[in-house]
Amino acid sequence: MITRLLIANRGEIACRVIATARRMGIATVAVHSDADADALHVTMADEAVRIGPPPAADSYLDADAIIAAAKATGAEAIHPGYGFLSENPGFVEAVEAAGLIFVGPSARAIRAMGLKDAAKALMAEAGVPVVPGYHGDNQNADFLAGEADQIGFPVLIKARAGGGGKGMRKVARAADFHAALESCRREAQAAFGDDAVLIEKFVTAPRHIEVQVFGDAHGNVVHLFERDCSLQRRHQKVIEEAPAPGMTEEVRAAMTGAAVRAAKAIGYEGAGTVEFIADGSGPLRTDGFWFMEMNTRLQVEHPVTEAVTGVDLVEWQLRVAAGEPLPLAQDDIALCGHGFEARLYAEDPANGFLPQTGRLAHLAFGDARIDTGVRTGDAITPHYDPMIAKIIAQGADRAAALHRLRRALADTHVAGTVTNRAFLLALARHDGFAAGAADTGLIDRDLEALTAAPETPDLAVAFAAIAALDLDLADPRLGWRLWGEASHAVRLMKGDGLVERRLILHGPGSVTLDGQTPLRLDGLTRDGTAITGRQGGCSVRADVVRYQDGTGTHVSVLLDGAIHAFAVPDPLAGTGGIVDSGDAVTAPMTGIVRLVDVRPGDRVEAGDRLMVVEAMKMEHALTAPRAGVVTAVHGGEGDSVEGGAVLVAFEPEAE
């Protein structure tokens, strides 16, 4: 058995691997960039080694530095997690050449499945159904456009290397093909160092169903059933579940059998996932699914498989890497209950899911399994994926598991950065999803409703006012004045809007928010961040956090499953509101300028692309808010820009 393990990754997956290794009695070594010097995975490990500056290319992708750290600390094996070097066959060979164990498949297997075009050809030979498309070597743009015409729109352009939705675009019209191709190539080159693509027919009402497989060095290959990953945005998974809704034993046998054949065709060892696209326009069919790709690593969503099988997949990885046979035979692996995983990200769903940065002033979770790599006080930086946590809920059946997921999301409170928590909760409450009728287009179809901002109830304003004024609710002098009751004018910013109310203090534990309909709260007490009380004889409770950052004082209120974020304006600085005059385009997030389309003096029309900014390896096109003449361009290709910085300025509109 391995006795000392280096984890060549960061964040939640590094913490996840460390937890299993510790349970197995294996000592762990963490690696970190300068940005992660105080990260959770560093403090959890038995030992930690610095491997470089914040950019991933200079740290977590530096194979030589990682191998040197392993040798210097006496580690016998390296676990790559997912992302970074996990599917890099050259890294596998370098690890083995250094006399170390790579916890994962062979370089040969990774190469066989690493390029989607070659993998599809191999799968077709193995009798696995594949999606119609062009998977060849000719990368001429006009040729690819012609192939797309022959396949028939809509088509999907996909980077042949990598995954995670990067370098992938759905194209509905021939007129949009070339622009989408260019964007895919830039994104693929930045993420994977390979700008080659393939073209596939886009399946109407597609479902994304994948099968967890596992092989060992003794020729054994098993499956651990399927996961449904159809809830996606920008081709990235949002909520996953196991087993797949509507799955019959007949279809399951066909799909898992194809997955096992795929793994056996390349002599696969370790954890892997065979991904299929299925026709979701009706019931699942044995002839209605096709191979998409194989991920030759542990998947982000592996906990849902663990939830329904009771198997620790990381333990299996470590045992197989040490040369042991699989712990269970196929007939010994049972499917029990249902599991969900929701990915909590620092991103803004109402603003195109743009990644966000910030310091986590408060981080608290509901009752579920939580896989995370951050704590309260940690920063979400632009250097890495903005995942905060994975929230995993399980139950005896789908309804029970979904109820627990909703409860856990409703009780999760994050302050200090914008997150997709409300979006996840809206998805978990979506009628179609609740009925098991989700396909990969569900989010796009219902995006407006799923990202709608909740109304701000007076109760949330009252709790925010108590926190903003930093009131001691138990103080016997609360509300005492020589003449009458004490009151405070309360001014809060909610988004760009100013909320002005008056809070009347009646005495210990009793206040009224004065408005059109006065709201009285009695019996108020505070226990940490929780404020409880009574409203009209009914109990009320909120999780309330007051914090400061570089922009001032803020209050975050979690009430009835909704988070209401307020800023406390500086009385010397007016309302603090920012008015967008339409005379400038600002960076929506901290990132790097990848493309500049305009120069000072250019005239543009509303909607014209001005720049492309990359953040966390995803491209974001900035467009003109109106017609006008460009007067200034701040930032060139390759420049780093801060979120909120003015990038393009226009001549003022004539009055």
- Catalytic positions, please? 297
Phi, psi of 555 (to 5 degrees): -130, 135
Among 79, 127, 88, 87, residue whose Cα is nearest residue 294: 87
**Secondary structure letter of residue 144 according to DSSP:** H
**Secondary structure letter of residue 130 according to DSSP:** B
Distance between CA atoms of residues 299 and 256, nearest Å: 17
Classify 99 in phi/psi space as left (phi over 0), alpha (psi -120 to 50) or beta.
left
| Exposure on the CB side of residue 2, measured as CA atoms within 13 A | 34
ω into residue 349 within 30 of 0, thus cis? no
Residue 214 Cα distances to 88, 222, 317, 579, angstroms: 19, 5, 9, 55
**Secondary structure letter of residue 46 according to DSSP:** S
**Considering Cα of 223, then 226, then 227, then 229, what sign does the dihedral take?**
positive
- For residue 451, give every residue at least 6 positions away whose Cβ sits within 8 Å of its Cβ, in sequence order, or none: 349, 350, 423, 426
Residue type present at position 289: F
For every residue of 595-625, DSSP letters joined together read EE---TT-EE-TT-EEEEEEETTEEEEEE-S
Residue type present at position 644: G
Is the separation of the CB atoms in 272 and 254 below 8 Å?
no
Helix (H, G, I), strand (E, B) or coil at 291: strand
Q: Which residue has the tokens 């998805």?
A: 427
Helix (H, G, I), strand (E, B) or coil at 211: strand
Distance between CA atoms of residues 497 and 481, nearest Å: 32
Distance between CA atoms of residues 344 and 386, nearest Å: 9
For every residue of 484-548, DSSP letters joined together read S-EEEEEEEEETTEEEEEEEEEEETTEEEEESSS-EEEEEEEEETTEEEEEETTEEEEEEEEEEE
Helix (H, G, I), strand (E, B) or coil at 151: helix
Task: For the chain, give the longest Cα–Cα distance.
Answer: 90
| Beta pairing partners, 201 | 155
Is the separation of the CB atoms in 79 and 92 below 8 Å?
no
Is the separation of the CB atoms in 337 and 411 below 8 Å?
no
Helix (H, G, I), strand (E, B) or coil at 438: coil
Distance between CA atoms of residues 298 and 303, nearest Å: 10
Distance between CA atoms of residues 244 and 369, nearest Å: 20
Vertex 235: Cα angle to 209 and 115 (nearest 5): 80
